[in-house]
C-alpha cells in the first residue's frame, strides 16, 4: 500500500499553513466559535516514543527491521539530525519536552527527581510525576501537577469539543507527561507490583470518554494481566530467532565479552528467567520486553474499542504510546548488548502491529503519526574503554554500592575547606547534574585553622568553595560548574550554558549544575550497567519521524530538535501551542500554478 495521494497531502499542508497563520495572528485564548475540521483533516494523531532510543542505535540496526521500524524509515519524513538542547536527558524531562514542544525551563520537569524547599524551610524530595493527594488523604499520588506548560493533548481538548487523549506506557511519568494536565485525559501505565495497568485519580473528571477508556483498561487487565500474565506470556524471556540469512554485523556485543559489565537482573545469558527476578515476576516483566508487548496490546485494544471510538468522531483524538523496555534493559545490560538488540527487533514487530491496527480501524489516510525518543543512551563506559584505549569517558558514582560516593567526597572537602563539623553535609544530593545544598543554611563552623567556632557559613561561601572542590576531586570527569546564584551572568553564547539554561528552573534546579565531560555518566553502580543524562551524543540525538498526513517520504538534513514534534502535530490538527519553543516541520504547500494560455 502507499501513503496518502499527492492531492490529499497538499490539502493537509494548506490546512497546516492556515493553522500556523491563525496561531501567529490571533491570541491563543481568544473567544469565538470552535473550528470545524475540514473533510480531509486527520481524525487521529498518534505519538510513538521508544524510551532511551538513540539515533545511532536505531539507524545501525536498520537492515534487521522487517515491520514497523522499516515502514517508518521507508515511508516517513525522517529528521536525521534531531537533538535535545537540555543537559539532563532523562525520562521525565524528555517526555514532557516531546508533549509540550519546549525544554524543561518552560515546562518545569528539570530532572526525574529533585529537592525543593518545604514549608518549614527544610527540604523535601519530589518525584516529577507525583502530586499531593487531596485532603483528607495524605501523601502523594501520580499526576501532572508539576508540569508548568500545556501539552499537545491539553491544547487539543481545549480546542476541539469532544476530543479524547489516551496515553499508554510501561512508566507512569511517560504516560502522564504525554497526556498532560487536563483531568479529562485517559493515562495508564503498568504497575510492577500488581502486574496490571493502572491510572490516577488526578485523571478523574468522570466524562463518558473516560468511562469508556477505563472500561478498556479494566477488560484488558481482567483478560490479560495480573494472575494471567504467566499463562499468557510465560516466565521466560527467550531471544527471537535470528534471520536465516543474517546481514553482516556485528549487531551486538556477545554476552561472553560484556557479562562482566552487566547487572544480571534476569541472569547473564538467554533464556532469562523472569520469575527469578529478586523483586518478583511482575517486576521481571516490567524490566523485560514483555512490558512492551503488553503496552502494544493495550494500545491496539484502545484503537479497536467500539465504545472509545478513537479517531472515529467529528473531533480529532490523540493516542500516545511510550515503550519502556529499551531503557530498562539498556540500564542493566547495555545498549550494545544482545538483550537490547532483541528488544529492538521485538519493537519493530510491535510497532508494525500498531500501524496495522491503525490502518485497519482508522484508515491509512486518516491518521498522522510522530515517532521519537525521550533521550538516547550511553554505552557501558568500562567496556568501551576496554575496546578503545583512547576513550576518555567514565562514571561518577553515588549510591548504595559505593562506600564513598560523589556527595560524600564533596562534603569531606567542603567541611575541611569551610571549617564545618564533619556531620554538617553542606551538599545534600546530586540529581542528574543538578547539585543541591543542604537546607536550611547557614551552617555553623567549628574551631579550626580556617575560622572561629560558631561562625555562620552562608550559601555564598559554599558557592565560592565548590568550584575548587570539583576541580580537585573530579578533574577527569567534570568540565566545570554553573552556579545558580550567578545565573544572571551566565555567558550568552556558550553552547554548554545554553543546555544548562534550557534545564534551569530556580525552584527546582538546585544550587549548581555540574558540566560533565563527554562520555561521563552519573551512576549508582561502580562498574556495571550504564545510563544517560548527558548533553552529548548519543544521549541527545534521537529519531524524529513523521508518517501520514502531509508528510511524504523523505529526509530532513537540517538540524531539528525533538521540541518540534508537538508544534508539528499541532499545525496539522489546527491547534495552537503558545508555550512551545519548537517549530512546525510541516512541509509548505506545493505551488499550484494553473496552466494559462495566452489569448489569441
Q: State the SS3 of 488-517.
A: HHCCCCCHHHHHHHHCCCCCCCCCEEEEEC
Residue 102 CB-half CA count within 13 A:
22
Cell numbers 540469512 correspond to 245
**Of the ranges 6-20, 362-376, 585-599, the best mean pLDDT one:** 362-376
Residue 266 CA, distance from chain mean position = 24
Residues 344-376 as b/e (b if ≥16 CB within 10 A, e otherwise) read bbbbbbbbbbbbebbeebbeebbbbbbbbbbbb
Please say if the pLDDT value at position 230 is more than 60. Answer: yes
Residue 522 β-bridge partners: 396
CATH number of 382-523: 3.30.1360.150
- Rounded Cα distance, 324 and 288, in Å: 9
Please report which helix (H) or strand (E) contains residue 323, including its range.
strand 317-323
The reported pLDDT for the residue numbered 307 is 96
Exposure letters 61-80 (e unless 16+ CB within 10 A, then b): beebbebbbbbbbebbbbbb
All three cell numbers of 388: 578503545
pLDDT for the residue numbered 536: 98
Give the helix ranges, DSSP H, for 520-585: 565-573
pLDDT of residue 538: 98
Q: What is the torsion angle, in degrees rounded to the nearest 10, for the CA atoms of residue 449, residue 452, residue 455 and residue 458?
A: -20
Contact 184, 153 (CB under 8 A): no
- Note whether 50 and 331 are within 8 A (CB): no
pLDDT at 364 > cutoff 50: yes
Residue 450: the pLDDT is: 58
Mean pLDDT over 455-467 rounds to 94
Q: 498532560: which residue's cell?
A: 180
pLDDT at 1 over 90: no
Domain 6-22+41-112+149-199+286-380+537-573: homologous superfamily in CATH: Alkaline Phosphatase, subunit A (3.40.720.10)
Instruction: Give the pTM.
Output: 0.92
Give me the pLDDT at residue 31, please. Answer: 38
- For residues 369-389, average pLDDT: 97
Q: How many residues does the chain have?
A: 600
Element (H, E) at 13: helix 6-25
Is pLDDT at 280 greater than 90 in this prediction?
A: yes
Distance CA 157, CA 182 (A): 8
Average pLDDT over residues 328-346: 98
Distance CA 522, CA 470 (A): 14
- 442-479: b (≥16 Cβ within 10 Å) or e: ebebbeeeebeeebebebebbbebbeebbeebbeebbe
Q: What is the mean pLDDT of residues 210-231?
A: 97
Q: Which residue has the cell 508494525?
A: 352
pLDDT classification of 32: cutoffs 50, 70, 90: very low
Mean pLDDT of 541-561: 98
Contact 334, 9 (CB under 8 A): no
**Could you give phi then psi for residue 197, rounded to 5 degrees?**
-85, 140
Q: What are phi and psi of 568, to 5 degrees?
A: -70, -50
pLDDT, tens digit, 9 for 90 and up, residues 181-192: 999 999 999 999
Q: What is the pLDDT of residue 19?
A: 42
pLDDT of residue 83 exceeding 50, the answer is yes
Q: SS3 string of 203-237?
A: CCCCCHHHHHHHHHHHHHHHHHCHHHHHHHHCCEE
Evaluate the CA torsion angle 520, 525, 529, 530 in order and state its sign.
negative
Contact 94, 327 (CB under 8 A): no
In degrees, to the nearest 5, what angle opens at C-alpha 294 toward C-alphas 291 and 298?
A: 140
DSSP per-residue codes, 148-190: -S--HHHHHHHHSTT--EEEEESSHHHHHHHH-S-TT-EEEEE
Percentage of the chain lying above the pLDDT 70 cut: 91
8-state DSSP, 389: T
Tell me what percent of the residues of the chain surpass a pLDDT of 90: 82
> Is 551 a residue whose pLDDT tops 90?
yes
Nearest to 380 by CA among 424, 428, 331, 416: 331
Residue 558 has pLDDT above 90, yes or no: yes
Question: Is the per-residue pLDDT at 592 higher than 90?
Answer: no
Instruction: Indicate whether 486 pLDDT > 90.
Output: yes
Distance CA 111, CA 91 (A): 8
pLDDT of the residue at 40 = 66
Please answer whether residues 237 and 274 qualify as being in contact, where contact means their C-beta atoms are separated by less than 8 angstroms. Answer: yes
* Higher pLDDT pick, 384 / 20: 384
C-alpha–C-alpha distance, residues 565 and 201, integer Å: 28
| 435 Cβ contact list (under 8 Å, min separation 6) | 427, 429, 466, 481, 510, 511, 512, 513, 514
Phi, psi of 514 (to 5 degrees): -80, 140
The pLDDT of residue 247 is 85
> Hey, is 242 helix, strand or coil?
coil
Helix ranges (H only) for 234-372 are 255-258, 281-286, 290-304, 325-333, 338-361
Averaged over 87-102, what is the pLDDT? 99
Grid cell in block for residue 344: 529492538
Say what the pLDDT of residue 34 is. Answer: 53
Rounded CA-CA distance 261/593 in Å is 62
> For residues 244-261, b (16+ Cβ closer than 10 Å) or e, as one string?
eeeeeeebbbeeeebeeb
First-to-last C-alpha distance (Å) of the chain = 46
Task: Indicate whether 225 pLDDT > 50.
Answer: yes
Cα separation, 144 vs 106, in Å, equals 15
d(CA 315, CA 41): 10
Q: Residue 455 has what pLDDT? A: 82
Residue appearing with cell numbers 560516593: 405
pLDDT score recorded for residue 378: 98
Please compute the mean of the pLDDT values over residues 252-271 and round it to a whole number: 96
* Chain segment 368-377, per-residue pLDDT in tens: 999 999 999 9
Cα(344)–Cα(339) distance, rounded to whole angstroms? 9
91-100 and 172-179 helices, crossing angle to 10°: 20
What does the block give as the cell for 36?
A: 470545524
**Whole-angstrom Cα distance, residue 325 to residue 133?**
29
Mean pLDDT over each residue of the chain, to the nearest integer: 91
Average pLDDT of 52-70?
Answer: 97
**Mean pLDDT computed over 110-139:** 93
Candidates 98, 116, 118, 97; CA nearest to 108 is: 97
- List every span in the chain annotated with CATH 3.40.720.10: 6-22+41-112+149-199+286-380+537-573
Amino acid at each position: 500500500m502507499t501513503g496518502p495521494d499527492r492531492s490529499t497531502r497538499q490539502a493537509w499542508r494548506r490546512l497546516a499553513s492556515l493553522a500556523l497563520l491563525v496561531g501567529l495572528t490571533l491570541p491563543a485564548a481568544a473567544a469565538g466559535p470552535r473550528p470545524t475540521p475540514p473533510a480531509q483533516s486527520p481524525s487521529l494523531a498518534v505519538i510513538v516514543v521508544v524510551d532511551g532510543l538513540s539515533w545511532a542505535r536505531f539507524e545501525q540496526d536498520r537492515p534487521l527491521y522487517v515491520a514497523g521500524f522499516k515502514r517508518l524509515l521507508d515511508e516517513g519524513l525522517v529528521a536525521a539530525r534531531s537533538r535535545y538542547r537540555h543537559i539532563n536527558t532523562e525520562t521525565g524531562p524528555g517526555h514532557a519536552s516531546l508533549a509540550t514542544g519546549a525544554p524543561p525551563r518552560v515546562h518545569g520537569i528539570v530532572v526525574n527527581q529533585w529537592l525543593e524547599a518545604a514549608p518549614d524551610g527544610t527540604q523535601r524530595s519530589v518525584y516529577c510525576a507525583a502530586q499531593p493527594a487531596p485532603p483528607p488523604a495524605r501523601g502523594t499520588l501520580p499526576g501532572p501537577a508539576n508540569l508548568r506548560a500545556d501539552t499537545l493533548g491539553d491544547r487539543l481538548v481545549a480546542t476541539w469539543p469532544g476530543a479524547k487523549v489516551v496515553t499508554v506506557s510501561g512508566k507512569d511519568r511517560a504516560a502522564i507527561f504525554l497526556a498532560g494536565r487536563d483531568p479529562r485525559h485517559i493515562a495508564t501505565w503498568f504497575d510492577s507490583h500488581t502486574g496490571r495497568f493502572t491510572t490516577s485519580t488526578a485523571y478523574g473528571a468522570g466524562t463518558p470518554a473516560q468511562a469508556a477508556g477505563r472500561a478498556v483498561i479494566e477488560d484488558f487487565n481482567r483478560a490479560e494481566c495480573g494472575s494471567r500474565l504467566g499463562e499468557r506470556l510465560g516466565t521466560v524471556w527467550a531471544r527471537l530467532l535470528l534471520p536465516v540469512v543474517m546481514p553482516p554485523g556485528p549487531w551486538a556485543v556477545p554476552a561472553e565479552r560484556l557479562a562482566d559489565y552487566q547487572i544480571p537482573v534476569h541472569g547473564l545469558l538467554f533464556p532469562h528467567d523472569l520469575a527469578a527476578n529478586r523483586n518478583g515476576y511482575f517486576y521481571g516483566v516490567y524490566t523485560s520486553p514483555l512490558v512492551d508487548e503488553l503496552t502494544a496490546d493495550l494500545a491496539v485494544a484502545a484503537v479497536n474499542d467500539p465504545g472509545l471510538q478513537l479517531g472515529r468522531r467529528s473531533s480529532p483524538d490523540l493516542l500516545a504510546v511510550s515503550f519502556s523496555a529499551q531503557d530498562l534493559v539498556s540500564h542493566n545490560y547495555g545498549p550494545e548488548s544482545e538483550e537490547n538488540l532483541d528488544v529492538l527487533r521485538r519493537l519493530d514487530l510491535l510497532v508494525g502491529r500498531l500501524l496495522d491496527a491503525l490502518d485497519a480501524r482508522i484508515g491509512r489516510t486518516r491518521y498522522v503519526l510522530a515517532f521519537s525518543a525521550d533521550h538516547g543512551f550511553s554505552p557501558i563506559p568500562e567496556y568501551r574503554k576496554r575496546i578503545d584505549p583512547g576513550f576518555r569517558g567514565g562514571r561518577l558514582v553515588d549510591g548504595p554500592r559505593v562506600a564513598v560516593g560523589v556527595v560524600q567526597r564533596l562534603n569531606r572537602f567542603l567541611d575541611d575547606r569551610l571549617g564545618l563539623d564533619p556531620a554538617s553535609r553542606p551538599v545534600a544530593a546530586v540529581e542528574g547534574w543538578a547539585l543541591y545544598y543542604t537546607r536550611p543554611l547557614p551552617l555553623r563552623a567549628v574551631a579550626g585553622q580556617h575560622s572561629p567556632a560558631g561562625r555562620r557559613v552562608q550559601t555564598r561561601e559554599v558557592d565560592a568553595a565548590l568550584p575548587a572542590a570539583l576541580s580537585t576531586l573530579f578533574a577527569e570527569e567534570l568540565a566545570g560548574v554553573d552556579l545558580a546564584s550567578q545565573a544572571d551572568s551566565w555567558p550568552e553564547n556558550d553552547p554548554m550554558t545554553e543546555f544548562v539554561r534550557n534545564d534551569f528552573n530556580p525552584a527546582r534546579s538546585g544550587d549548581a549544575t555540574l558540566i560533565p565531560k563527554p562520555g561521563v555518566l552519573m551512576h549508582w553502580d561502580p562498574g556495571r550497567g550504564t545510563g544517560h543524562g548527558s548533553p552529548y551524543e548519543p544521549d541527545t540525538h534521537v529519531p524524529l519521524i513523521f508518517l501520514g498526513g502531509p508528510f511524504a517520504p523523505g529526509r530532513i538534513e537540517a538540524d531539528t530538535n525533538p521540541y518540534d514534534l508537538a508544534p508539528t502535530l499541532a499545525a496539522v490538527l489546527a491547534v495552537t501551542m503558545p508555550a512551545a519553543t519548537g517549530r512546525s516541520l510541516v512541509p509548505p504547500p506545493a505551488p499550484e500554478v494553473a496552466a494559462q494560455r495566452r489569448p489569441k
